[in-house]
Structure 1
């Protein structure tokens, strides 16, 4: 029954659009975008990168800089190759902090104990560092980092990637099992409009968690919509960007925090007609 209802809803929306009732939405402009600076960074990275059919993965600093050119801030992270370095990093960032492993097999795997949160002082940090290395491996294997704590909220994931058939696709879901195990992700074609972004975050099955499910405090969905639109604009402006992965994005009551970011580049495809196909309204 749900599939039939969804199909009818699409028919109703399409009919409203044809009659000019539904607002088509628009791609917003932002004064804080530095398109030229981002383009220069991308060209330099591609020129310096090692040839790889999968493209060039930006280093953490370059990824943060590129995203920053489009008004997307990533919470600072400092390497912690030893307990003394971790303490120095935490003092620089300010307590409380989080201690995380960044090894590929442990990335985003809080369930394996690779993330320790709310460390309020140096003693707690050193204790957590020892527990982490005793349980999971040496610092060289774990690649630990220290990051300042973000306000509590709902963990989400924002991605963009090139689909061979459809072009650039913007994806959104809740971080963890909701998206990885259940595939609860919503997708929109790039460039996304403000209406696309608003509908996207409301279309996943777990969306009630963002809007005060069972008495919880609703999170800042306008900030989340803006993040989606800025990622969409970044990918649309620069066809060399073949993937963007922001995970987790912690959406709090006021504002959000991007805690992890990855960007991959490749020479632009030969085709230049990717994008949403829109039927004309008569």
Structure 2
């Protein structure tokens, strides 16, 4: 952790909704005049799209059916920890960008599914903001979480997460449902080993729970909307959290445990604004005092 160069990490599985959370934080940063270095977790995958397909084929031929984007073999965990450590010490670091589609790739004159060159972060950023799969990952070789000042988990219940992934990958990326389901099954061992444990290390978790039937996510025709969901917000340390204020501001909310508040799903953006704006103030105040 760093007082002078704080780090915020949003961690969640593929299809969990971390991109939506990032947009909310960008609104907070703009309003509060905070200059953030935005780091996408996909940029720390080890292989580009073509290389990953080749590695997947090789893994299947070598009887390694569980090889996936979730595990250390396919990611640069050490480099991610080095970035967090170096940024915390100096406010600097080297990053790159993964180009998902034609729109992202066109300005660089590259093919979709490739990485840009590594480059140094802009000078004089106030905070580093990470969004991706492994913002709090911890293994026997690395501990990314220990460098993060504010750790946030985005964790829909697993059936909802699968529904979101199936619909996104089918409608936006052109994959067949069979291919998406195969990916979900292949990733499961790494999901259990490397994704789930992160949510025990986070400071705040946001879990969306549908109030409609999602018993069979593989036949769901649509994604349950925020109006059809409840949001469970868990604080690892409730000390200093103004629960009466949150309950008053979040209509129809209630506390289910001393560290947990539940509110309607469509209040997620508002809840994040109310919870994290004061936390960002605190990080910036500590930073100013340190300098």
* Fold in common (TM above 0.5): no
Q: As a proportion of its length, which structure holds more helix?
A: 2
Work out which of the two has the higher radius of gyration on C-alpha atoms and give 1 or 2.
1
The structure whose residues are more often strand, as a share, is: 1
Q: TM-score, normalised by structure 2?
A: 0.25
TM score, norm. by length of structure 1:
0.26
Which has the bigger relative contact order, CA under 8 A and spacing at least 6? 2
